[in-house]
Amino acid sequence: MEEQRGHGRRSSGSLERAVLDVLANASAPLTVPEVRDALSVDLAYTTVQTTLVRLHAKGVLARERHGRSFAYRPVETPEAIQVGTAARRMRKILDSGGDRRGVLARFVADLSPQDEALLADLLAATEPDNTGPDGGGER
């Protein structure tokens, strides 16, 4: 079966977004075949199933028994899911073992003045919470 449309292979992130879009627009939880049928590309059943299982493992989807299988639904709004996905990506990059200080410094240097002010406000608001094992209260 064809798992791509146009150029190159579909990234797992774009497939996850497509699946989340289908579920966000559904009026009820959907099973694997229902999600597969609603997607605009022809994918293997197992590809859709694996994507749903991974999204469930990430806590993005809830699932309920539907006969011998499961039906899936988002646990948050599409906007909240997008925010969580972006935050996980940022954390993954920071935890990848590279130059953490350099990555953060470059990120902050590239912020607009408005985003820099927002980041400063967010850091100030979470300051009391930085007493755990990773926070230590220092920056």
Do the Cβ atoms of 56 and 62 come closer than 8 Å? yes
Tell me the per-residue pLDDT of 47-87, one tens digit each, with 9 for 90 and over.
Answer: 999 999 999 999 999 999 999 999 999 998 878 878 887 88
pTM above 0.75, yes or no: no
Tell me the per-residue pLDDT of 4-31, one tens digit each, with 9 for 90 and over.
Answer: 444 445 666 789 989 999 999 899 999 9
- 120 alpha carbon, distance to own chain's centre: 24
Q: Is 6 left (phi over 0), alpha (psi -120 to 50) or beta?
A: left
* Sequence ranges of the domains in the chain: 12-74, 78-128
Distance CA 24, CA 42 (A): 20
Q: Which of 58, 59, 81, 61 is nearest to 70 (CA)?
A: 61
CATH number corresponding to 12-74: 1.10.10.10
Distance CA 61, CA 47 (A): 16
